[in-house]
Amino acid sequence: MTGDTRNRLIGIGELSRSTGVPVRTIRFYCDEGVLGSSRSSVGHRVFDPATAVEQLLLVRRLRALGIGLDPIMAVLTGASTVAEAIAAERGALDDELAALTWRRASLLAVEDAPPEERAERLEVLAAVQDRYRVYDSMVAFWRELLDPLSPDLLDGFILMNVPDLTTDPDPRHIVAYAELAMLVADPGFRAVMSRQLWRSDETRIRHKRPLLTGVAEACESAGHLILAQQPPRPGPELDRFVDAHASARGIRDTPRFRQQLLSGATDSDPRIHQYWTLTGEVIGAMTTGAAQDWLYRALEQSAGPDGHPRDSVRRS
């Protein structure tokens, strides 16, 4: 090593004094490959002050913000920028804070439960501590049931009917979310919801997409009546609902057909009511389930158990 080169290099002690980084930490960065160094003729670490001081100060500042060594190395090698490293760390911190908030709300939900319900609530909440997995499971549940729907209608249904908790959820909503997760994981509930959707005889349905589209339109119309506090009753909303089912099967809307829609229906299954009640509690808005229930009650009024109308039924 020439005298000129030696004059341009500094030892680890001088680098430490120039940057305020302890010698032990500098050695660690060198061993981990974060900071480059060379060896003097007698084996001591030496550094080029033109680059080492600036790099070490950058490492110290990024570490003070909690940035890991791998992202820092990516910045030093030019594989990423400082802004990208900071954005990635902020995103990871947001996820961590969301998880901690979920846990805190879960603990409060157990703490606030009556003593006789505490063990059961603890069991329910312990099973669903991944908020995103719960949401994904509900989306997958509906995507499977509503597969014939067009993507835009399906996305609209999910947006309106699949609850996603806020970053600071109410403990009551955490409990509701957990119970929803357990429902969609139950194969029996999936079968019940499918029977409600297809009205018992899915194999006879020729046109599933128009059926789901027509039912969605009927539910939207019924939703307006629910918001207006109108009780279930036969009318154009119910006619649209029945029309959708009749057309999908290639038959006419008759009192007998309306009775068939009631026969074997699962609308009164307590699991369906539980699902939509919990969903409405979390969303805080009108749900498709509430509209379906309104239409079912209206259908009960339009066709008695003997197949004859209780009120006037629109004839095709």
pLDDT tens sequence across 46-81: 998 989 999 999 999 999 999 999 999 999 989 999
Helix or strand holding residue 11 (H, E) = strand 10-11
Q: What is the pLDDT of residues 90-139, one digit of tens each?
A: 999 988 887 787 788 788 888 888 888 788 788 777 766 666 778 888 89
Q: CA 190 → CA 128, 141, 149, distances in Å?
A: 19, 8, 18
Task: Return the closest-CA partner of residue 45 out of 72, 63, 23.
Answer: 23
Q: CA 45 → CA 21, 34, 41, 162, distances in Å?
A: 15, 14, 10, 60
16-30, 49-63, 99-113, 217-231 — which is least confidently predicted? 99-113
